[in-house]
Structure 1
Amino acid sequence: MNRRKSRELTMRLLFQMTINKEDFKEVIDNLKENLKVDNNESELLSNLKTDKSDEENMDLTDIDMSYVTRVLKGIQEKKGELDDGIEKCLIKWKINRISRVDLAILRICTYEFLYEDNIPKNVSINEAIELAKKYSGDKSAAFVNGILGKMIKNKE
């Protein structure tokens, strides 16, 4: 299983949840339905390709669907707590000013800090920065890094 790919799929689905105001179950069900697969995860994941503009497709056969589902469910249930933690690290900003992509990345990483003890914090931060670079840009990567760094510092 590839945690990086799992995290990327989680970010994309969380973004979809935010934009479409959907429940995590709806997003997972829609993913399966759109691929017309009868709940066979290995077949589902082997058929699933992400699309990053015209760049190469990413093979998602080794996605950890239990991680994806657990994190999406957890973020949905703990959204207020996660957003409070993020907002405490913002200087002269409100959470509603953060781009939806960056917010999805921050929520995933914050959730991992608080509830995924098996993931080292520096790994979560590095993965968040890479997602921000890929989906938002260098300025967003620096922003995400700053927020997460401050969050870690505040916890110490």
Structure 2
Amino acid sequence: MKRRDAREHALRVLFQLDHSEMDVHEAMAHVTEEKDAFFELLVQGTMEKREEIDGSLNEKLENWSLARLPKIERTILRMAVYEILFGEDAPKPVVLNEAIELTKAYGDEQSSRFVNGVLSKYLND
């Protein structure tokens, strides 16, 4: 599976898991039967580090709280921040670009600008 596809599948799983009682493995199987280490790492890592990711995001958000964000933006931000903070091989600009592309596909133009603004703060740190 290509990394772009893995990120899109991970987004779908994480979106389902946000405010859901579904098990992580059940959600992953619901999205795809294909086994991929990067996909599984993104989903499980984002879920395991969610508190730390949310704390970091709350520090970067200006005049917003994580709870007020639309669910798709919140999910994309969490997944991208996981990769930026804990990923070992993807360059930060690539992660930023992939997050913006996902936001354009699932959100709107304003959403992509917002996600770009928040994630750009991580590139400058």
- TM-score, structure 2 as length reference: 0.91
2:40 is aligned with 1:69: yes
CA distance in 2: counterparts of 1:4 and 1:30, whole angstroms: 19
Tell me the number of residue pairs that the alignment of Structure 1 and Structure 2 aligns: 125
Q: 1:76 to 1:2 in 2, by over 3 A?
A: same
Aligned-pair distance for 1:26? Answer: 2.4
- Which structure 1 residue ranges, 4+ long, deviate > 6 Å from structure 2? none
Aligned-pair distance for 1:71? Answer: 1.3
CA distance in 2: counterparts of 1:19 and 1:134, whole angstroms: 22
Does the 8 Å contact 2:9/2:31 carry over to 1?
no
Match of 1:145 in 2: 116
| Identical positions, percent | 34
Give the helix-richer structure, 1 or 2. Answer: 2
CA distance in 1: counterparts of 2:122 and 2:18, whole angstroms: 23
Unaligned runs of at least 5 residues, structure 1: 33-43, 46-63
Counting only pairs closer than 5 Å after superposition, residues 69-148 of structure 1 correspond to structure 2 as 69-148=40-119
- TM-score, structure 1 as length reference: 0.74
Q: Helix, strand or coil: the match of 2:15?
A: helix
Unaligned runs of at least 5 residues, structure 2: none
Counting only pairs closer than 5 Å after superposition, residues 20-99 of structure 1 correspond to structure 2 as 20-31=20-31, 44-45=33-34, 65-99=36-70
2:16 is aligned with 1:13: no
Task: State the Cα RMSD in Å.
Answer: 1.6
